[in-house]
Chains A and B, each alone.
Chain A
Amino acid sequence: MVQLLLERQFANWGSKLLVLATIGSCLLLPGTAVASKQKTPQPVEVPVLQLEGGRKLVFERSFSYEREAKPKRGFWNRLVDVIAGEPEFHSMVRPYAVVSDSKGRIIVTDPGAPGLHIFDFEQQKYKFVSHPEGKDSMRWPQCVSVDAQDNIYVTDSDAGKIFVFDGGGKLRRVIGSLKGGEGMFKRPTGIAVDSAAQRIYVTDTYRNQIFVMDMQGSVLAKFGKNGAGNGEFNFPTELRLEGNELVVVDAMNFRIQVLGKDGAFQYAIGRIGEGQGAMFRPKGVGMDSEGHLYVVDGLYNIVQVFDRQGQLLYYFGKKGTGFGDFQLPAGLFIDQKDRVLVVDSFNRRVQVFRYFALPKQGAGGGL
C-alpha cells in the first residue's frame, strides 16, 4: 500500500519535472544565446518528492563547471572580462564518481579530463587536480573516497593504481605502482577508506576480488571470486563503506551485495530484468541516514531506493536534460546531511538532492 502510494506520487512528480524542465530551458543558462522575445524570468520551482510519513526528497541544484563555485565577479573583473575575455573555466567532460569530504567540498572524478574537480561552494573555491606526467601518470580516474583527514583516494582503472592526494590536491603517494611503471591491479574501480581501522578496500573488477590494504598499500587480505553465489562476484565495481558494512555493486550479477568488513556475506538485493526493482546497469550506490539503499541504474536513467529487505520504496529520474532527469547517470554519494549527489554523466553535471528523514525533518543548510 505504501509502495503504491509512493509510485503514484512519483508519477505526479515526474510530470512536474517535465514542466520544470520546460521552464528551465526557457530561462537563460550560461553560455546560451539570448532569445529575441524573452519572457520575464520566473522563479524556479524546486521539485519536491513527497514520501511516506512526511519524508521528502528535494532537488537542490545541479552544477557542471568551475564558475558556479566561484564568487560573483566584481566590477574590475568584469571590465577585464570585456577587454580580454573571460578566463577559461574548467568544466566536466565525462564525470563518473563523486564524494564529499568533512568540509562539505564535493570531489568529482572525470576520466574525460582526466582529473578531479573539487568544488567548495562554501568557500567559493574550485580546484582541478590532475597528474598527467611521469611513469605514474593518472590516466583514467574512476572512483573516489576520502579519509578522516580529507585525503583523497582515487582509483585509476586504466593504470591499475590508486592515487592519494592531500586535501589541497597535492599528490602524496601512488599505491600499486610496480617497478616498471605497471599497476598492481588489473582494473581497480570502487574504493572505500576506513580511517578508524586504517584500512583501504578496493574492488578489482577483472579479478572479481576485493583487496583489503593498510594505508600504505600493503595487501592484508583478499576476498571474493568469480561466481553468482553469496560472496562471489561477476565484475564488481562501485564500493561503499557504510558503518561496518561494505556495499558492493556486483554489476554483471545485477545485484548489490552487502558484506561485513571481513568479507562475510550479509545480504543482497536486486535482480536482472525489466520493471521496478530490477537492475540492468547498476552503477553508483549509497545509503542514507535511515539505512535505505540508493542504486543508480545507468540504462534506465533512474535512482532506485530500497529498504534492507530489498523492497523497492520509490525511484526518481527519467531520461532527459531537465532538473531531476538523467542521461547515463553513474556515481552516487550520500553525505552526513543526507544530501544525495548523483553524477549525471552524459549531461556533464552533478545533481544534488536532499533527503529529509523523519527525525531530521527541517534541518537547514544548503550547498
Chain B
Amino acid sequence: MHAVAMIAAMIMALSLRANAQVTVGDNVSMNLNANASFGYTADYGSTIVSDHGLNFGGTADLTGSYYTPSFLNFDVNPYYNQSRANSTSQAISDSSGINTNVQLFSGSHFPGSVGYSRSYNSLGTFGVPGAVDFTTHGNSSGFNVGWGVNLPDYPDLAFNYTQGHSDYSIYGAEANGNNSFHNLNTHATYRIAGFNLVGGYIYNQNHSEYPQIVNNEMQTSDNSGNSFSFGGNHDIGWHGNAAAHFSHSNFSSDYLQSSYSGAVNTVDANVMFHPKETLTLASNMYYTDNLVGTLWQNIVTTGGVVRQSTPGQSSSSFDINALAAYNVTQHLITSGTVDRRQQTYFGKSYGSNTLTGTASYWNRLLGGALSSVLAVTYTNVDSTGLSTVGLLSSLTYFRRVGGWELNGSGNYFQNTQTMLIGYTTSGFGFTASAGRKFGFLHWNASAGGSRSLLNKSGYGTDTQNYTTGLTAKWIGISGTYAKSDGTALFGATGVVPTPNPGPLPVDIINYHSHSYGAGLGLNPFKRFTASASFSRAFSDTLNGALGSHNNTESAVVHLQYQFRQMWFTAGYSKFVQGFSASTSPPADVNTYFFGVQRWFNFF
C-alpha cells in the first residue's frame, strides 16, 4: 500500500509539468524548478535494521522577487530524502530539510537579509588532521538576520545576528555531541576629514557537548564573550598611512567544573610611508594588558578548549618594531627590521631584541620561473642573556622541460619566535608536482609534506601526502596516500592542530593517522557516467592514558545515464567506521540503490 502511494505520488509529480505554470502577478516574479526521484533501495548493516523498499525524494528551488529584485528577493530550497553530502544514490543516509533566504532593499541605503535553515538526518564530519574525516549524522538549524545603513555623509552601519544548533552522533561509537551558539556583530565605518574610522561590537555565546570518542568522560564547555573596538587611519605625506586601533574584550569560560574569566585590552598602531618609489619605511607598536587571555582566545578561536583555570597573575606584552624595505632591482627586494618585545606572564618578565634581514628574489632562470625568500634573525633574550640565530627561507621553481611540467617548492625555518618570548619553532615543508602528456594520456603526480616542532614544549606535527592521476579521453583514475602525526587539541569539530599551544593547560591529543584511496571515473559515451571510489583511513589517538584505534572505510559505485531531463541512477555503497575505545561495535552500512530522477523547470 505504501509503495502504491509512492508510485501515485511519482506519477503526480511527473504530470505536474502540464499544470504547474502558475499565474504571475503584476509585482511578483518567480522561478520554480524541482527534482523528483523515485527508486528502490535496500540496506543492511550492523547498526541499522536491514530493510528494502521503494523510495521517493525530491528537491525544489523557488526563487523570485517582489516589485524588483532590489526591493525584495527570495530563495526557498526544500529537500526531502536526498543525501546532501555523499552522493545522490543515498549512500548512507537520507536527509530532509529546508534552506531559505530573503534579501530586502538590497539596492537601497537600508539593505537587509533574513535566512533560516533546518536539516534532519544530514551527514557531517568529525576531523582528525591528515586523515579522512569520520562521518557523523544529525540535525541542525540556523537563523540569521542582517541589516545595514548606508546613508551618504553618515557612518555606514551593519548589524548581523546569527544563532544555530546542531546535534549529531558518530557512526560506530556511542558518542553524541551538540553545539549551540549565538553571535551578534555590529560594525560601523565613517570617513571624515581624510580619516577612515571603524568601530564595532561583538557578542558571542557558545555551548558544546563533546562526543566521548577520544576522551573517557562526557565534557561540556560554555564560552561567552563580548568585545568592542574602534580605530582609524589617515593618509600622510610620502604616500604614507598612519593607523591606530583599540579593542577591549571580556570573556568567560566553564569547562570541566572550572571557570575562567577575564578582560583583554589591546592597542596597536602603525605608520608607513614611501619617501621614494623604491623605499618603504614603517613602524608598528602592539600592546596587550592580558597576554594569557590573548593566548586563551587564540586557542578557543581555533576550536580547542583550556582545561583548567589559569593563575591569576597579571600578564602583558609590548612589542615595537621598525622596518625599512628597498627595491634594489625589479627582481630583488631587501628589508631590515628591528624589534623590541617586553612580556610578563606567569609571574616572570621577559625581554628580547631582534634584528632581521630579509631578501626576496624572483626571476626567470634556466627557462623556468624562480622565486625565493631568505630571512635571518638574531635574537637576544634579556633574562637569560642567550642569543639565538634564526632562519626562514623558501624557494619555488616552475619549469617546462619538453612535454613535462615540473613544479617544486620548499621552505625551512629555524628558531622562529612565536607569540611568547622563549618559545621558538622550527620546521620545514615541501611540495613537488609533475605532469606530462603521453599521446592521449595525461599523467600527473604530486607530493607534499611538512614538519614543525615547537622547541620548548616538544609539540609538533608531521604530515606527508602523495597523489597521482591518469586521464584519457573518457577515463580517469587517481590514487592518494596521506600520513600525519602530531599533537593537537580536542574541539567540538574534532581534533584540531594548534600551532602554538604554549604554557596553558589544554587537552593535548597525540595522534597518528594514515589513509589511502583510489578513484575511477568513466564517460564512455554521451550522457553516461560511471564512477567508483574507495578510501580507507586509520588513526590512533592518545589522550593521557586513554588510547583509541579508529578506522573508517568507504566504497561507492555510482552509475548515471541522462535522457533529456531524466537521470537513471544506480549505486552501491559500503561504509565501515569503528573506534576501539568505544563500547559499540563498528558501524557497517551497505546500500544498494537504483532509480530515476526527473528535473522540472516549472516556470
Residues of A within 8 A of B (CB): 33-36, 80, 82-88
Taking the nearest CB of chain B, how far is it from the CB of A171, in angstroms? 18
- For A85, the chain B residues whose CB sits under 8 A away are 17, 564-566, 598-600
Asked whether A36 and B24 contact (CB < 8 A) given A84-B563, A85-B565, the answer is yes
Taking the nearest CB of chain B, how far is it from the CB of A132, in angstroms? 12
Complex CA gap A65/B598 in Å reads: 24
| Complex interface residues of chain B between 7 and 38 (CB less than 8 A to chain A) | 14-15, 17-18, 21, 23-25
Task: Scan B588-603; emit 1 where CB is below 8 A from any A CB, else 0.
Answer: 0000000000111001
The reply to whether B15 and A82 form a contact with Cβ atoms under 8 Å apart is yes
The chain B residue sitting closest to A133, CB to CB, is: B473
Task: Scan B570-603; emit 1 where CB is below 8 A from any A CB, else 0.
Answer: 0000000000000000000000000000111001
The reply to whether A82 and B564 form a contact with Cβ atoms under 8 Å apart is no
- For A88, the chain B residues whose CB sits under 8 A away are 564
- For A34, the chain B residues whose CB sits under 8 A away are 21
CB pairs A–B below 8 angstroms (11 shown): A33-B603, A35-B24, A36-B23, A36-B25, A80-B564, A82-B18, A83-B14, A84-B564, A84-B566, A84-B598, A85-B599
Taking the nearest CB of chain B, how far is it from the CB of A216, in angstroms? 29
Q: By CB atoms of chain A within 10 A, which of B17, B21, B25 has the most? A: B17
13 extra A-B contacts, CB within 8 A, seeds A35-B24, A84-B564, A88-B564: A33-B24, A33-B603, A34-B21, A82-B14, A82-B18, A84-B563, A84-B566, A85-B565, A85-B566, A85-B598, A85-B599, A85-B600, A87-B564
- For A83, the chain B residues whose CB sits under 8 A away are 14, 566
- 9 smallest beta-carbon distances between A and B, as pairs: A85-B565, A36-B23, A85-B564, A84-B564, A84-B566, A33-B603, A34-B21, A33-B24, A84-B563
The chain B residue sitting closest to A36, CB to CB, is: B23
The chain A residue sitting closest to B563, CB to CB, is: A84
Taking the nearest CB of chain A, how far is it from the CB of B91, in angstroms? 26
The chain B residue sitting closest to A88, CB to CB, is: B564
**Interface residue total, chain B, C-beta cutoff 8 A:** 16
- For B25, the chain A residues whose CB sits under 8 A away are 36
- For B566, the chain A residues whose CB sits under 8 A away are 83-85
Complex CA gap A34/B20 in Å reads: 11
The chain A residue sitting closest to B31, CB to CB, is: A33
The binding surface of chain A is classed by DSSP as: loop
Complex CA gap A36/B30 in Å reads: 14
The chain A residue sitting closest to B15, CB to CB, is: A82
Task: Scan B400-442; emit 1 where CB is below 8 A from any A CB, else 0.
Answer: 0000000000000000000000000000000000000000000
Taking the nearest CB of chain A, how far is it from the CB of B379, in angstroms? 55
- For A84, the chain B residues whose CB sits under 8 A away are 563-566, 598
The chain A residue sitting closest to B30, CB to CB, is: A33
- For A82, the chain B residues whose CB sits under 8 A away are 14-15, 17-18
Complex CA gap A84/B527 in Å reads: 14
Taking the nearest CB of chain A, how far is it from the CB of B475, in angstroms? 16
- For A80, the chain B residues whose CB sits under 8 A away are 564
Q: By CB atoms of chain B within 10 A, which of A33, A34, A36, A82 has the most? A: A33
Complex CA gap A85/B24 in Å reads: 23
- For B24, the chain A residues whose CB sits under 8 A away are 33, 35-36
Complex CA gap A36/B14 in Å reads: 23
The chain B residue sitting closest to A81, CB to CB, is: B564
Complex CA gap A25/B533 in Å reads: 51
- For B599, the chain A residues whose CB sits under 8 A away are 85
The chain A residue sitting closest to B596, CB to CB, is: A84
Complex CA gap A88/B562 in Å reads: 12
Complex CA gap A352/B516 in Å reads: 62
- For A33, the chain B residues whose CB sits under 8 A away are 21, 24, 603
- For B17, the chain A residues whose CB sits under 8 A away are 82, 85
Taking the nearest CB of chain B, how far is it from the CB of A83, in angstroms? 6
- For A87, the chain B residues whose CB sits under 8 A away are 564
Taking the nearest CB of chain A, how far is it from the CB of B350, in angstroms? 63
The chain A residue sitting closest to B23, CB to CB, is: A36
The chain A residue sitting closest to B566, CB to CB, is: A84
- For B14, the chain A residues whose CB sits under 8 A away are 82-83
Task: Scan B293-321; emit 1 where CB is below 8 A from any A CB, else 0.
Answer: 00000000000000000000000000000
- For B600, the chain A residues whose CB sits under 8 A away are 85
Complex CA gap A83/B566 in Å reads: 9
The chain A residue sitting closest to B601, CB to CB, is: A85
The chain A residue sitting closest to B26, CB to CB, is: A36
- For B21, the chain A residues whose CB sits under 8 A away are 33-34
Complex CA gap A36/B17 in Å reads: 17
Taking the nearest CB of chain A, how far is it from the CB of B597, in angstroms? 11
Q: By CB atoms of chain A within 10 A, which of B14, B565, B598, B600 has the most? A: B565
- For A35, the chain B residues whose CB sits under 8 A away are 24
The chain B residue sitting closest to A87, CB to CB, is: B564
Complex CA gap A80/B565 in Å reads: 11
Taking the nearest CB of chain B, how far is it from the CB of A60, in angstroms? 30
Q: By CB atoms of chain B within 10 A, which of A35, A85, A87 has the most? A: A85
- For B18, the chain A residues whose CB sits under 8 A away are 82
Complex CA gap A84/B24 in Å reads: 26
The chain A residue sitting closest to B603, CB to CB, is: A33
Complex CA gap A33/B564 in Å reads: 21
Complex CA gap A306/B530 in Å reads: 60
Taking the nearest CB of chain A, how far is it from the CB of B233, in angstroms? 44
Complex CA gap A34/B600 in Å reads: 17
Taking the nearest CB of chain B, how far is it from the CB of A69, in angstroms? 19
The chain A residue sitting closest to B24, CB to CB, is: A33
- For B565, the chain A residues whose CB sits under 8 A away are 84-86
The chain B residue sitting closest to A85, CB to CB, is: B565
Taking the nearest CB of chain B, how far is it from the CB of A21, in angstroms? 21
Complex CA gap A35/B18 in Å reads: 15
Taking the nearest CB of chain B, how far is it from the CB of A204, in angstroms? 30
The chain A residue sitting closest to B602, CB to CB, is: A33
Taking the nearest CB of chain A, how far is it from the CB of B515, in angstroms? 36
Taking the nearest CB of chain B, how far is it from the CB of A96, in angstroms? 27
Taking the nearest CB of chain B, how far is it from the CB of A128, in angstroms? 14
Q: By CB atoms of chain B within 10 A, which of A34, A36, A83, A86 has the most? A: A83
The reply to whether A86 and B564 form a contact with Cβ atoms under 8 Å apart is yes
The chain B residue sitting closest to A82, CB to CB, is: B17
Complex CA gap A9/B25 in Å reads: 39
The chain B residue sitting closest to A37, CB to CB, is: B23
Complex CA gap A80/B17 in Å reads: 12
Complex CA gap A87/B21 in Å reads: 19
Complex CA gap A34/B603 in Å reads: 9
Complex CA gap A34/B25 in Å reads: 11
Complex CA gap A137/B600 in Å reads: 35
Taking the nearest CB of chain A, how far is it from the CB of B330, in angstroms? 30
Taking the nearest CB of chain A, how far is it from the CB of B473, in angstroms? 8
Complex CA gap A87/B17 in Å reads: 15
| Complex interface residues of chain B between 340 and 360 (CB less than 8 A to chain A) | none
The chain A residue sitting closest to B29, CB to CB, is: A33
Complex CA gap A82/B21 in Å reads: 14
Complex CA gap A82/B24 in Å reads: 22
Taking the nearest CB of chain A, how far is it from the CB of B264, in angstroms? 56
Taking the nearest CB of chain B, how far is it from the CB of A78, in angstroms? 10
Complex CA gap A82/B598 in Å reads: 11
Task: Scan B503-545; emit 1 where CB is below 8 A from any A CB, else 0.
Answer: 0000000000000000000000000000000000000000000
Taking the nearest CB of chain A, how far is it from the CB of B167, in angstroms? 39
Taking the nearest CB of chain A, how far is it from the CB of B181, in angstroms? 42
